[in-house]
Amino acid sequence: MITRTEIDGIPVVFGPTTGPMHAGLVFRVGFADEPLTKRGITHLVEHLALHSFGVADYHYNGATGVEYTFFHTRGSEADIVKFLNGVCASLSDLPMHRLSTEKEILRTEENGRSEGPTEALALWRHGARDYGVVTYPEWGLTGITPDDLRAWVGRYFTRHNAALWIAGPAVPAGLQLTLPPGHRMPVPAASSALPVRPAYFSGPSNVVAWDTVVRREARAAVFAGVLERALFRSLRQESGLSYTVHAGYEPRVDGSAVISAFADALPEKQGAVLGGFIDVLAAVRLGLIDQAEVTTVINQRAEEMTHAEENGGRLPGQAFNVLAGRPVQSLEEVLAELRAVTREDVAAVAAAAYADGLLMTPGRTSADWAGYTAAPNSSDEVVQGTAYPSLEDPALSLVAGERGVSMVGEGSAATVWFDRCAAVLSWPDGARRFVGHDGMQVSFEPSLFANGHALVPALDARVRPELRTPMPPRDAGRIPVPRPMPPQAPPQAPDATGDSGGGTAGPVVTLVLLSPILLFFGFLALIMLLSLWADPEDTGTEIILGLSFLFVAAACGYGVVWAIRRLRNR
């Protein structure tokens, strides 16, 4: 049974277990709290706080998530006490001498991380703020200073913004969680970059993905399980179109929850997988849900909850609930709420989920035929200002004005307004990347635009200093230079031989030779015709000769016409 207590002003949830003892200290701060200009600061705090432990003889780790950051360990009571006390001490005095090294470690870690199949959905749904920030690289690392870290720790890593879970025979003695006072930090309000839902956008060619935001409740978790079973049955068992099919349920602090789902696809089968995926969503939206499926999912989740209660797996979630201001639930309460879910409840969630859905279609496929609206992938407006043409592409130009910047191409534009700017990445060589709240980006390489380097100071002066995000210097080979214009073909010399090389000698010779022949045989043909008219009695010879002369004259006439046309076209 889970009980609640308190140590040094920090709420504690405790549950006896039969397995190894483990514990975790959690703080209500994550990626969603970071402005894009400081992206990575929470992860950096986590790494610095754990540095002093080095290679320990017990398991420990830290993790930074969307809404929470926690430090976790498994071992003996003495190990638990040493770790938790050490984390609190380290947070009070971070090893700033490790700052540069840990930044490089984080960059290396990020370089080896691959994007999850549903990760892009958060960017298209939320843009470059709050819950969309998680999809961006840790761009803020370069500019984070010791003062930034101290301010971040002082705001978020406090005893009033923390909770502790302990799984074991008893709460260990000797815990001294010396954290400074503070405030329980609320989560940021979720932003939206989608003017209309349900919506879709095109993604990689090998996956179909979907997500939605619904109320956080047991019936929503059951719907996620029902959806996964329906997708698996349709796309893998029945049609054999997909190998991996998954649906998940992630609760949020604000009382909402994200349900996401994906299915992999071969490029040549992407249309079929998309159609099958949409068909399943449409079916559950219409309430075509089997009661037996609902019962199966409820039983599975009940079994998982019971097992988690026995090994302490429910404790982290209950500690998260404490920080979210939610009550700690006993296993009996959780199971009662779960078993009260009906087929009609799941159908109601399915309808609400469909209305808020965001679909990622594979490759160049679309979903407008199924009632989804294309999410905006370009800007409707272009700033009023001065245009700077590209030195490589005549159809491309940067427009810089007092209120923002636009990159304008053939049939599309991307605009970032300075008062709705999330960050401006700044490289020492002058390159700039403007990122708008809606996720739109304008990348400016001054070497590729007319008067580009002269424009950089003016752009910097129009952006608030706190939005400037310094980036590491680039190797000279990575700084683009304009591609040279293709060489012009030299003019072709006249062809004195008179062949098809395009000179005048051939047509002139043809005209000189054929003109008198044309006149001579034309005159003979005329004589034969006159003779035929004067003596109609003996016509055979005159007709044959006349036609022969006329044929020769026509052939010569064709050559003369060709020569005249060639000479006129020079």
The tens digit of pLDDT for each residue in 120-176 reads 999 999 999 999 999 999 999 999 999 999 999 999 999 999 999 999 988 999 999
Q: Which of 29-38, 89-98, 351-360, 553-562 has the lowest mean pLDDT?
A: 553-562
Mean per-residue pLDDT for 441-450?
96
- Residue 226 buriedness (CB in 10 A; 0-12 / 13-18 / 19+): buried
- 95-104, 291-300, 353-362, 550-559: segment of lowest average pLDDT: 550-559
Report which DSSP code applies to 236.
Answer: I
Average pLDDT of the residues of the chain? 90
User: Which residues are 387's β-sheet partners?
Assistant: 399
Q: What is the DSSP letter of 235?
A: I
In the numeric block, which tokens belong to residue 423?
């960050």
Structure tokens at 86: 């050490």
Say if residues 185 and 160 touch (Cβ distance below 8 Å): no
Pairwise CA distance, residues 80 & 55, whole Å: 15
CB burial of residue 72 (10 Å; 0-12, 13-18, 19+): middle
* Residue-level pLDDT at 173: 93
Contact 278, 208 (CB under 8 A): no
In this structure, what DSSP letter does residue 237 have? I
| Higher-confidence position of 535 and 129 | 129
Model pTM? Answer: 0.83
Which pLDDT score is estimated for 497?
A: 39
Q: What is the pLDDT of residues 263-311, one digit of tens each?
A: 999 999 999 999 999 999 999 999 999 999 999 999 999 999 999 999 9
Q: Are 212 and 287 in contact (CB under 8 A)?
A: no
The predicted structure's pLDDT at residue 19: 75
As a whole number, mean pLDDT of residues 541-556 equals 67
The per-residue pLDDT for 510 is 65
**How much of the chain, in percent, has pLDDT values that exceed 70?**
85
Q: Where are the alpha helices (DSSP H) in 390-504?
A: 452-461
43 — pLDDT class (breaks 50, 70, 90): very high
409 forms beta bridges with 412
- Specify which residues 417 forms β-bridges with: 404
| pLDDT over 80 at 519, yes or no | no
Total residue count of the chain as it appears in this document: 570
Using DSSP, state whether 357 is helix, strand or coil. coil
Q: For strands 199-203 and 358-362, give the pairing.
A: parallel
pLDDT score at 543: 66
Highest averaged pLDDT of the listed ranges 43-52, 497-506, 558-567: 43-52
Q: For the beta carbon of residue 361, count every other beta carbon within 10 angstroms.
A: 27
Residue whose C-alpha is closest to residue 531's, from 521, 542, 541, 519: 542
Do residues 402 and 385 touch, judged by C-beta distance below 8 A?
yes
Check: CB of residue 407 under 8 Å from CB of residue 389: no
CA distance 167 to 174: 16
Amino acid letter, 259: I
CA gap 301, 342 in Å, rounded:
14
Residue 229 sits at the vertex; the CA angle it makes with 121 and 335, to the nearest 5 degrees, is 95
The answer to whether the beta carbons of residues 23 and 13 sit under 8 Å apart is no
- The pLDDT assigned to 358 comes to 98
Q: What is the pLDDT of residues 463-488, one digit of tens each?
A: 999 999 999 999 998 999 887 655 54
